[in-house]
Amino acid sequence: MNDNILKKEFNKKDVERLRNLVKGKGNERTGQGVGYTKKQEFHKEGDIWEENGRTWTIKDGIKENITKLDKFKKSSVPLFCPSCGTIMNKQLDPHYFKAYGACLDCVKAKETKIKVSGEWDNHKKDIQNKEIDKLIEQYKDFMESKMSESNSSFVTESGEVEKWIGGINKERAKEALLEGIKYLESLKNK
């Protein structure tokens, strides 16, 4: 009979916890916690901050970690089309998604509507003009990077470092840049 005797006393906290469980209030506190409370920081949509050695942002109301793989995630093709929600498992779907942001079927439907409405020629002109604008931006970036390079020294085949005096004629390069942009602008359809 002595084996059934409780050898440990219950604390007040344990009794309160048991009462809460019996009453169905399992989530209520039974004691006061003492300790450090972290200062809360509130961030808005699009904010970027660093916390515990990681970079964070808020996208669509969700706190996300920014990683080195984010560029890869953007370039990869999702499983479902963002426009219609169907599985993108056709052979041309990845190519169409990278170009238009939708699956082949969505692009076909959109282009068919444009053709039926009679706006196809304007649509082709807009696409070509956008491509030329992208090309102009890439050309500007390329020329700026080339003008900012320093070519003061070169390594020869024998491994010697030669120092050259001179450099890029920046005035002439800017003139060539403007001429190239003018030519590309002339290719646009009006």
pLDDT tens sequence across 97-127: 988 889 999 999 999 999 999 999 999 999 8
pLDDT in tens, 61-90: 888 888 878 777 767 888 999 999 999 999
66 neighbors 57 (Cβ within 8 angstroms): yes
CA distance 116 to 5: 89
Rounded-to-integer distance, Cα 34 and Cα 72, Å: 45
Q: Look at 57-66, 73-82, 134-143, 152-161 and tell me which has the smallest mean pLDDT.
A: 152-161
Q: Residue 56 class from Cβ within 10 Å (0-12 exposed, 13-18 middle, 19+ buried)?
A: middle
Q: What is the DSSP letter of 70?
A: H
